[in-house]
């Protein structure tokens, strides 16, 4: 299979990695994912799914999540996905019969069972990728519509949720920030996903927490890390990414600035710090 680089927000996305890769996701579109080889682990504050080879998953917008992509023993990690924006979803619903629910469920993460239809769709995409000649924009749109039709027929509860999500509502900052402090998103994304403009987010945050978002996030990450090291028996290399630091070196430096010792010596820190 030839190496192909595509932007993750394009309607058709493909990625391949020869070593394990961890990334954060700030989804603004609906995705249907197929892992071609290796394993992907996607998690957010409340959910975790493991996608093995030739398995599918649905990822919804409006939520932070993290993904860890692990190659197979004898092959690189490979993933292909289709991205749907509201326009193509609404256009499909306008011209096709879609069963709606009074209280639709909006899924952020969900495994999709294999079916002959979805296997055939992604099998054709895999053939294009393997040949190194991607389908043009018109054909990609056809594949997007085909995938929506499969979702509508095989997973109607997912389709109903896609139509019923609507605009993000303003939610509690206490709950939202405690669920999402570990993500390295710009503040405008925190504002967006909490249902606020950036100016409203800053204003509400100061009123709620009596400090700035950046200061609160850093203190929260270090506090959680301290507890995981002190009481959870974890090592710094096991937690730095989990609590929101991109590198172990950055975590160690900020931790020492806050607690006076490096995280590897946390058991020597007095309880009254």
* Mean predicted confidence (pLDDT) in 217-234: 92
Residue given tokens 């160690």 in the structure block = 252
Alpha-carbon torsion angle 28, 29, 31, 37, nearest 10: -50
pTM of the predicted model over 0.75: yes
Is the alpha carbon torsion for 210, 214, 215, 216 positive or negative? positive
Beta strands 56-59 and 48-51, pairing class: unpaired
Q: Which residues contact 69 (CB under 8 A, 6 or more apart)?
A: 15, 17, 20, 21, 22, 23, 38, 39, 40, 77, 79
Contact between 65 and 27 under an 8 Å Cβ cutoff? The reply is yes
pLDDT at residue 210, rounded to an integer = 96
| Cα gap 30→49, rounded to integer Å | 16
| Cα gap 36→55, rounded to integer Å | 8
230 CB neighbour count, 10 Å cutoff: 14
Q: Is the pLDDT of residue 244 over 70?
A: yes
Higher pLDDT, 15 or 270: 15
Find the distance separating the first CA and the last CA of the chain, reported in whole Å.
Answer: 54
Contact between 238 and 249 under an 8 Å Cβ cutoff? The reply is no
Residue 67, φ and ψ in degrees, nearest 5: -130, 135
* Mean predicted confidence (pLDDT) in 10-37: 91
Q: Which range is least confidently modeled, 57-66, 127-136, 210-219? A: 127-136
Contact between 215 and 254 under an 8 Å Cβ cutoff? The reply is no
Paired tokens of 197: 């403009």
| Cα gap 154→208, rounded to integer Å | 44
Paired tokens of 116: 């002959």
Q: Model confidence over 85-122: pLDDT tens digits?
A: 889 999 999 999 887 655 555 678 899 999 999 999 99
Task: Return mean pLDDT, the chain.
Answer: 88
Q: Is the pLDDT of residue 169 over 90?
A: no
172 CB neighbour count, 10 Å cutoff: 11
pLDDT at residue 5, rounded to an integer = 45
pLDDT at residue 267, rounded to an integer = 63
139 CB neighbour count, 10 Å cutoff: 14
Q: Is the pLDDT of residue 215 over 60?
A: yes
* Mean predicted confidence (pLDDT) in 62-76: 92
Q: Is the pLDDT of residue 230 over 50?
A: yes
How many Å separate Cα 271 from the centre of its chain?
36
How many Å separate Cα 57 from the centre of its chain?
12
């Amino acid at each position: 299979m030839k190496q192909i680089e595509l932007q993750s927000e394009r309607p058709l996305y493909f990625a391949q990695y020869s070593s394990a890769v961890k990334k954060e996701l700030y989804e603004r579109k609906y995705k249907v994912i197929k892992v071609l080889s290796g394993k992907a682990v996607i998690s957010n504050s409340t959910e975790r799914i493991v996608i093995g080879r030739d398995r599918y998953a649905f990822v919804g917008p409006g939520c932070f999540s993290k993904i860890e992509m692990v190659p197979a023993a004898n092959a690189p990690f490979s993933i292909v996905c289709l991205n749907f924006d509201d326009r193509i979803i609404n256009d499909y619903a306008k011209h096709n019969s879609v069963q709606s629910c009074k209280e639709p469920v909006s899924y952020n993460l969900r495994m999709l069972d294999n079916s002959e239809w979805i296997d055939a769709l992604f099998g054709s995409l895999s053939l294009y990728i393997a040949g190194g000649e991607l389908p043009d924009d018109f054909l990609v749109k056809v594949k997007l519509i085909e995938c929506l039709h499969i979702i509508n027929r095989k997973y109607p509860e997912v389709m109903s949720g896609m139509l019923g999500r609507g605009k993000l509502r303003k939610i509690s900052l206490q709950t939202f920030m405690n669920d999402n402090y570990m993500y390295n998103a710009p503040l405008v994304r925190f504002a967006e996903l909490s249902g606020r403009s950036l100016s409203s987010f800053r204003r509400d945050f100061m009123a709620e927490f009596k400090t700035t978002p950046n200061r609160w996030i850093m203190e929260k990450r270090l506090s959680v890390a301290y507890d995981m090291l002190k009481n959870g028996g974890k090592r710094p290399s096991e937690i730095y990414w989990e609590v929101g630091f991109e590198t172990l070196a950055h975590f160690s430096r900020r931790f020492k600035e806050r607690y006076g010792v490096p995280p590897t010596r946390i058991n020597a820190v007095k309880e009254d710090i």
